[in-house]
A and B are shown apart, each in its own frame.
Chain A
Amino acid sequence: MATSDYLIQDLVEKYGRERTSLMPILQEVVQQKNYLSDQDMTEIAKELDLSAAQVFGTATFYSFLDTEPRGKYVIRVCKTITCDMHGKKLIIQTLEDMLKIKVGETTPNKKFTLLETNCLGWCHEGPAMLINEKPFSGLTLERIHDIISEYMHK
């Protein structure tokens, strides 16, 4: 718990207590902890003099500001049309098989979370996905195997 408090304090120092700092703070908490816990959100609310419901409202608006626990590596596969046309389904199936989880789930070792997302801006090289912030495009089954194996050993 103590560490969590320090993180928020540090971020508040860094970004300030204005409401305009809310997004950067939320983003950095997610980057460091993979999700926003209720304690973190209340702490942020307190520091920025907002109500907890306001922080929750902002956080839940954004797809990347997760409010439930996520794995260390969050995989977001694009499901929008061009990726869909170019074999996104197969990519998802492969990922599900490799990670032994379904879309929306996190592996028991908390390493991977598999999600779908909307267009990532790699339509010309679909199917595409993000692992945390890193994009991967031109996905094939072999590439998925390579990428995931690499991450499994990270």
Chain B
Amino acid sequence: MTKQINLTIDGINISVEEGKTILEAARSLNIHVPTLCYHEDLCVAGNCRVCVVEQENVKNLPASCATPATEGMVIHTNSMKVRLARKHIVELLLSEHNADCTKCYKNKNCELQTLASQMLTGDHMFLDLVPDKKYTIDRFNTAIIKDDSRCIRCQRCVRTCEELQSVSALGVAYRGDKMKISTFFENPLFEVVCTNCGQCVNRCPTGALIERNYIDQVWDAIYDPTKHVVVQTAPAVRIALGEALGMAPGKIVTGKMVAALRRLGFDSVLDTDFTADLTIIEEGHELLSRLKKALVDKDPKTALPMATSCSPGWIKFIEHTFPEYLPNLSTCKSPQQMFGALTKTFYALKRKLDPKNIVSVSIMPCTAKKFEANRPEMRSSGYKDVDYVLTTRELGIMIKQVGLEFEALPEEHFDSFMGTSTGAAVIFGSTGGVMEAALRTVYEVVTGREVPFDGLNITPVRGTEGEVREATILIEKVKPEWRFLEGVELKCAVANGLAHAKTVMQNVRDGKANYHFIEIMACPGGCLGGGGQPIPTNRDIRSKRKSAIYEEDMGMPIRKSHENPEITAIYKDFLEKPLGHKSHELLHTHYTPRKRY
């Protein structure tokens, strides 16, 4: 048992485990101490100092987030001294800050603003320092905008990019009054190793790092009578959108989301889950064909392990960091891009629409998808396959803009074609989901039997945060045509968060692991913790979203991608067969080596 520490906070005695901070102790008493640089997912920085509290018999005010509780401590979280010091700190931050909230994307969703309003910082105490600062805004990126004039230098973004993502595209530069958050040589984000994962955006307490929003462009398309606007929604949006609209985390809002999208005026409300199923079919067959090449043809050039390719943050990461492993990536496009390519071909054909009049919009938990949609290779329909990518947050804003009472909306169903999906697609939203969905299909293709797991739940590959999950699936009693796989132990690895992806790839590179198949999601927890998800996102909220996803899976009538009737139909009507000619043209892609430096 760990040692217990007894202390008093605001007159209440409490006992906490040794090592817990004053902040954690206070929170467990439901005493709210304000914080800015603190974030549950990150190491403690202790630099904003807004969380200071008073400790009896100590001259200085300790920062509660960074100070461990010690025996006999007597803490006051709201003494006069504390209140004045905190107010000074917030006033100081504001004096460096371009606080024109009405022009700011984070207006009403900003931690600094909230503190300022609580503290009634009406007339500013101190001099306005902004005119002397040469703040710049980096708007050159398709996914993320960095506005230094709104940065409070809490370094959350820096810690995110380093600790969770091992990218360190952002760092702290210069010193003293000139200290700022910067890329290498202050280059624009699009020129550096940034993966557009948006994890920093998700953790930025202010409007300094935000997604580039395409809300107005989407409205323009909706109101343009000549355009047919198709919207697709990713698996992880439906379990988080509610949060952006005032609901508690972990609520599944699929039906209400569909209803809302219709009311916003989209002409067709479809489901990325459909192409998630399609991805499984294509990627599953790709895996099998690689295994065949390796095991039967003994082709030494076969790139194994095969790695999933549906997370565009991960794609850009590997392009920069392990370009020599690009052949190991599945050539499958992400479900979003498959969907886009099919929208302006298959869907257009079926609905007798001219693809040039179709505007294809996607709702994603992700900022990297914005970048992905703008890749030059993502035009296989002859047009830009996906015209606009909105995050879960942006959809939340649109719903608020039209004044919909979200919780009161009825549950509606996706349109079809390309609106039907399975439980396998739903779990794409969580780490390990693609792996599980693929195994459900691959195992059955090869053996004719369902995966030997209770209720199809392949729990050993369900990823967990903060670690690399490894699992081995024994393939036995195969169908005759797959004889070469008899007795093969399929070695799988699942990682989420780029720091763990890096570990996996280093192990592969150094020959420490011989996987067949690896699933990587750039964001902690997978898409459910995506950079485009509602703010705040933290461990607790992610775990609620995760439960919702698996709940949704369990509730689906069909839970295996290859049993999706629309999938069968699209192969029959249009694509012919997995990895066929049409698939290659529309559903597969190639990658670009990029420099890490």
Contact = CB atoms under 8 A, between A and B. Distances in A.
Interface of A: 38, 41-43, 45-46, 50-57, 60-62, 67
Given A51-B167, A51-B184, A52-B192, A57 B172 contact: yes
A51 B165 CA distance: 12
Contacts of A46: 596-597
Given A60-B173, A60-B174, A54 B597 contact: no
B174 A38 contact: no
Given A45-B597, A60-B175, A61-B175, A51 B169 contact: yes
A48 B170 CA distance: 18
Contacts of B193: 51-52
Most chain B CB within a 10 A radius of its CB, from A53, A54, A61 = A53
21 contacts: A41-B184, A41-B185, A42-B597, A43-B597, A45-B597, A46-B596, A46-B597, A51-B162, A51-B168, A51-B184, A53-B169, A53-B171, A53-B173, A53-B182, A54-B162, A54-B171, A56-B171, A56-B182, A56-B184, A60-B174, A67-B185
A38 to B, nearest CB: 5
Given A41-B185, A42-B597, 17 more contacts: A41-B184, A46-B596, A51-B171, A52-B184, A52-B193, A52-B597, A53-B168, A54-B171, A56-B171, A56-B173, A57-B171, A57-B173, A57-B182, A60-B173, A60-B175, A62-B175, A67-B185
B183 interface: yes
A54 B169 CA distance: 8
A51 B597 CA distance: 8
Nearest to A42: B597
B318 to A, nearest CB: 16
A53 B174 contact: no
Interface in B167-224: 167-175, 182-185, 192-193
Contacts of B596: 46
A46 B192 CA distance: 14
A52 B171 CA distance: 9
B550 to A, nearest CB: 36
A55 B183 CA distance: 10
Interface of B: 162, 167-175, 182-185, 192-193, 596-597
3 closest A-B pairs by beta carbon, nearest first, are: A51-B168, A53-B171, A57-B171
B287 to A, nearest CB: 31
A61 B596 CA distance: 23
A46 B597 CA distance: 7
B333 to A, nearest CB: 28
B172 to A, nearest CB: 5
Contacts, number: 54
A136 to B, nearest CB: 26
Most chain B CB within a 10 A radius of its CB, from A41, A45, A52, A55 = A52
Contacts of A62: 175
A41 B183 CA distance: 13
B174 A61 contact: yes
B529 to A, nearest CB: 22
B597 A53 contact: no
A38 B182 CA distance: 14
A60 B179 CA distance: 9
A55 B597 CA distance: 11
A54 B168 CA distance: 7
A50 B505 CA distance: 17
A53 B170 contact: yes
Contacts of A61: 173-175
A25 to B, nearest CB: 15
Given A53-B168, A53-B192, A38 B184 contact: yes
Contacts of B192: 52-53
B185 A38 contact: yes
Nearest to B184: A52
Contacts of B162: 51, 54
A138 to B, nearest CB: 29
Contacts of A43: 597
A146 B182 CA distance: 43
B210 to A, nearest CB: 20
Contacts of B167: 51
A14 B167 CA distance: 27
A53 B183 contact: yes
Contacts of B169: 51, 53
A53 B168 CA distance: 7
